[in-house]
Amino acid sequence: MDLGSGLRTAAGKLREALRDVATKPRFILTVSGQGYKFIGNVVPVFDGPPLSNLLPPAIVLSTSPLPSMGKTRLTAHSPVLLKAIAAFVLASVVISAVVLFYQYLHRPLASSQDTIVVGQFSNSTNDHALDGILLSAVRLKLEESPYLSLVTDEKLRSVLKNQNAASLPEELHACNALGSQLLLRGRISAQSPGYLITLSAWNCSRGELLTEQNAKAPSRTGILPALDFATDEMRHRLGETEDSIQKFNVPSNQATSASLAALKAFSIAEEKRTQGLEPDAIVYYKTAIDLDPAFALAYARLGTIYANLGQTVLSQQDFRKAFELRGNTTDRERLYITTHYYADVLGDVGHAIDTYQLWHNVYPRDMPPTNNLAIEYLILGEPEKAERFAKAAIQLDPSVSQPYGTLAQAYLTNGNYATLTAFCTDPKYITLDSMPFHQACFLLDFVQNDKTEMQHQLQWAHGNPAESALLEDAAKIALYHGQIGSAQQAFADARQNASKNSLSELAAAISLDEANSEADLGLKRKADKDALDALKLAPNSPLVGASAALAFANAGDIDRAQSEANKAVHESPSDTLINKALIASVHAAICLDKNQPGVAIQSLEQARPFDFSMLLDLAPAYYRGMAYLQNRQPHDAAREFQNVLDHRAIVPNSPYAVLSQLELGRALQLSGDQVNAARAYGEVERIWKDADPGFPLLRKMRDYQRELSTVSSR
């Protein structure tokens, strides 16, 4: 038996477990000619029985020294051999016990299914410039891990109102209330010289400290690197593998900013954004960028806020800058920036969906990509998929309001009115701070002709910076009923509200919705003026330019329509909806003005996949039907108009729904189906029963009805 070989093997395994190196030992020292010596610091953890009591009773250990072996012959019954075996067994047991004890002390403190609350990061240095700086950085470092599942700040705030001044017991109580397993806290303290960063992990149910990870910073410039070291060690203790930590590990001064002043401004902005005060956060994100022009994540946050406020040009500027600097961010934030670049800058819906799906696959517990996938499918007119992803987003984080709004929109566009009614009347959701949710409920009330509830929704929105969205919906409803005077007043109120909140692009979009409706109603001069006013409000927006081009084309201002269309294509060559739907509609309107319906039909074929996009108001299919009518193909026209009516739930107050009802009657009349034509006209008459006397399309409907009556009387 090779006793030396056995001991070397045991010592090697122990070194491997302790991550020790023989050439630079921290725990096990090789003593030449004697064996091995443990040189690590040993701290008693608990009192227990002697080691001999832990051994099986069959093993008896002798404390006598081994005699000199000299040339003694070893036999199976040799006392020397028995003592050697006993020594080997003792060494093996001791090593095994040490390994097991080490593994116990360094066992993973969390599983991939556990949720973790990130609490306060306190400052006890008396240097108030460091107040509130490190929480954002440590959170971003922890969020970088695909292994850890962090509770969102929004969710924590729902059970811990005074988050910035919460005590440890209060945070542990909140952690328990959220059903989470671990609480992480941080602290920076003064240490001569420099600073000490401490991260601690607490068991929420038992309230016990599980581990602390410390790192020293010799000066202020070393604070972020020290934070990174402590965070990496904490990730390891929580159970993340070394490979994962190395793969998802961008230094904080790169992922955020090397400027502590910029990081402080960013932290204040993040807090305000978490509180739902997005407009108030803008100035602090801008300050962070002024202090560090390479702060990619600050640009991305600004891009998101401007996109939510309908300021697409400003949003695109910031997302474009964030995309240029995306190499400075973590993988998660890089995915966040890239998806928004495709969705909000390029308008490339296909690439946006692919990248959101990648984000969803890498970080399956993240809510934003799941919710945004639902939104992209709403844009594509696929509400079934949108509903599935919106429900999944709510399951991932029920505390955030956005997915509820997305789900409500999906229910609406799917025509799932019974479920939406239950959703909108549930006391848990009535007070949701989500404009898309209240918009969906407002349009549901319109469908159900519940004017009292419509008024309640308008009252809820009063004073909200996004109130103009509901005011515009009210304007389109008035137009739907042929009440031009009320509609123009409501459009003016919506536009004024947007301008009051410095939302110039939203005000331009409202003007263009009014202009396009006016053009289709025959108010061409007013439509032309409103489209020009919109361009003055947002001269650099390709989306505004493309929408203005459509209004100009329908108003007969062909040269200006062509000019704005060309400009929009040049500025946004990758935008899916602009190029494949809006510009196709512009070309079709121009062709119809030139009496070239066949060319118009061909142009609108590329828009067919987007006929039911919630952003296009059902317009492409309506224009295709009008082209078929002009081309003397009434059966095909009737099919297109019926298609609009079958999907009117997508935008229930769309003027193109009632216009399609009118032109369906005309198409059926020309097809020889007098009975159904009369029914279609009767439905339009019902909708317009309270229309203004001078409503232009009333005369058109009467002309159709007279012609039908003449044909029927023959």
How many Cβ atoms sit within 10 Å of the Cβ of residue 595? 9
20-41: average pLDDT: 65
Provide long-range contacts, Cβ within 8 A and 24+ apart, for 286-291.
Answer: 287/262, 288/257, 288/262, 288/263, 289/262, 291/257, 291/259, 291/261, 291/262, 291/265
What phi and psi, each to the nearest 5 degrees, are found at residue 428? -65, -25
Q: Which residue has the higher pLDDT, 134 or 108?
A: 134
Distance CA 404, CA 441 (A): 12
Contacts of 164 (CB under 8 A, 6+ apart): 120, 132, 271
186-207: average pLDDT: 92
Average of per-residue pLDDT values in the chain: 86
pLDDT at 64: 37
Classify burial at 499, counting beta carbons within 10 Å of its beta carbon; exposed 0-12, middle 13-18, buried 19 or more: middle
pLDDT at 710: 82
Structure-block tokens of residue 565: 């269309």
Residue 3 banded pLDDT, cuts 50, 70, 90? very low
How many Cβ atoms sit within 10 Å of the Cβ of residue 535? 22
Q: Which residue has the higher pLDDT, 39 or 261?
A: 261
pLDDT at 166: 87
Look at residue 612 and tell me whether its pLDDT is greater than 50: yes
pLDDT at 647: 94
Distance CA 666, CA 625 (A): 11
Tens-digit pLDDT profile for residues 626-670? 999 999 999 999 999 999 999 999 999 999 999 999 999 999 999
Tens-digit pLDDT profile for residues 462-505? 988 789 999 999 999 999 999 999 999 999 999 999 998 888 88
263-453 classified as CATH 1.25.40.10:
yes
Tens-digit pLDDT profile for residues 264-304? 999 899 888 877 788 889 999 999 999 999 999 999 999 99
Residue 509 banded pLDDT, cuts 50, 70, 90? very high
Tens-digit pLDDT profile for residues 334-377? 999 999 999 989 999 999 999 999 999 999 989 999 999 999 99
Distance CA 543, CA 533 (A): 15
Look at residue 227 and tell me whether its pLDDT is greater than 60: yes
595-618: average pLDDT: 93
592-596: average pLDDT: 94
Q: Which residue has the higher pLDDT, 679 or 83?
A: 679
pLDDT at 56: 39
Percent of the chain with pLDDT over 90: 61
Percent of the chain with pLDDT over 70: 85
Give one DSSP letter per residue of 461-480, joined into a string: HTT-TTHHHHHHHHHHHHHH
pLDDT at 28: 73
Look at residue 406 and tell me whether its pLDDT is greater than 60: yes
Place of tokens 């040009």: 313
Tens-digit pLDDT profile for residues 138-194? 888 898 888 888 988 878 888 887 777 889 999 999 999 999 999 999 999 998 889
pLDDT at 87: 57
pLDDT at 527: 93
Look at residue 136 and tell me whether its pLDDT is greater than 90: no
CB 703 within 8 A of CB 665: no
Residues belonging to the chain: 714
Rg (CA), the chain: 35
Look at residue 65 and tell me whether its pLDDT is greater than 50: no
530-540: average pLDDT: 93
Q: Which residue has the higher pLDDT, 574 or 92?
A: 574
Distance CA 427, CA 517 (A): 37
Q: For the domain bounded by 116-253, which CATH number is listed?
A: 3.40.50.10070
The domains of the chain are located at 3-105, 116-253, 263-453
pLDDT at 191: 87
Asked if residue 293 has a cis previous peptide bond (ω within 30° of 0), the answer is no
Nearest Cα residue to 469 out of 444, 494, 437: 494
Distance CA 593, CA 557 (A): 10
